[in-house]
Amino acid sequence: MYRRKGYYIQVQDVLEDSQRSTSWMYLSETTKAGVWLYQDIARMHTFTTSVDKLFSRSMEDPGWGLFSKIFHWRAGMYHGEDIIRVKIQLEELLLQCTDTGILYPSPEALRGLADVAFYQGKLSETMDILQKMEEIYRGKDPVNLIWSISRQAVIASLLGDYDLARDLIHNTSENFEFLLLPTTYTFLHRCYGSAQIELNAGEYDMAESHFNATVEGCDIQDNLIHKALGFRGLGEVAFARGNFPLASQRFAETQSLCTKMGVPPVKLYSCNPLYTLPERFEGWVSFLEGRSPFATSII
């Protein structure tokens, strides 16, 4: 729950405490490997551990080893490793995925490859990979199914097809029927995706409305990740309108949430590149770098 909401510091604290408990020695090696895996996923987001050390303790476990190798190479990409090398490794790991039992590693490998394609500016390839993920999730994992469709919608908007983007994001509601109780988390996927689409389309009023709804949804679920993303989006809307005091306030709130998560502000999107806003929205970067109109006056 902490990981899903972006409380990466708390994830590490809880799992470190578990390893100091008297019951730790009685756990199976596979259970211990799962603890190390999730601990390193949190460390991946906080950038507090070198990539070489991430997932090294869980790689040899028969149950979690493949997941760990996939996350190790994804972490390498997010931390700046050569992207061609990452792609080769993820493609090889994908071939090893069988998706048997309760473990489904292939979507994690595909997500890494979607991130690779996105970083390389290959949006059509990113779309194709997300569609493969949709096929895997359909009928099995409605939350991630909605995630994959909402990301397809955003990619469509980046390709300039706003009608398709809006149709896709609207159709995610049809998949709520698979859920006994639609969660706020699935709502956040859809709402933030809608905000991205409208921002990309230059519809600032609509984008602002969806970003506000995202933040409000996060207040209900106590989700720090999407709340930070929502405030950053609101800051960009204010920046585009020339309301720099409001933009500064929104970006300061984003920065504060990054601190609470344990994520360096400059790394807000590093582990979630498909949530990134286009480079033309430069208010956040200008704020972090102290550039005009956010430069501090020197007396």
State pTM to two decimals.
0.93
Over residues 87-132, the pLDDT tens digits come to 999 999 999 997 655 457 899 999 999 999 999 999 999 999 999 9
Q: 1-120: what CATH class?
A: mainly alpha
Q: Which residue carries 């704020």 as its tokens?
A: 287
What tokens appear for 112 in the block? 């890494």
By C-alpha distance, which of 63, 71, 66, 54 is closest to 32? 63
For residue 185, the model assigns a pLDDT of 74
Distance in angstroms between the alpha carbons of the first and the last residue of the chain: 47
Identity of the amino acid at 274 = L
Residues in contact with 139: Cβ distance below 8 Å, sequence separation at least 6, in sequence order? 178
For residue 224, the model assigns a pLDDT of 97
For residue 299, the model assigns a pLDDT of 36
| Alpha-carbon gap, residue 175 to 288, rounded angstroms | 38
Q: Which residue carries 């498909």 as its tokens?
A: 274
Question: What's the pLDDT band for 77 if we cut at 50, 70, 90?
Answer: very high
Over residues 226-268, the pLDDT tens digits come to 999 999 999 999 999 999 999 999 999 999 999 999 999 999 9
Residues in contact with 87: Cβ distance below 8 Å, sequence separation at least 6, in sequence order? 113, 116
Over residues 150-198, the pLDDT tens digits come to 999 999 999 999 999 999 999 876 655 544 444 667 889 999 999 999 9
| Alpha-carbon gap, residue 11 to 18, rounded angstroms | 11
Identity of the amino acid at 106 = S
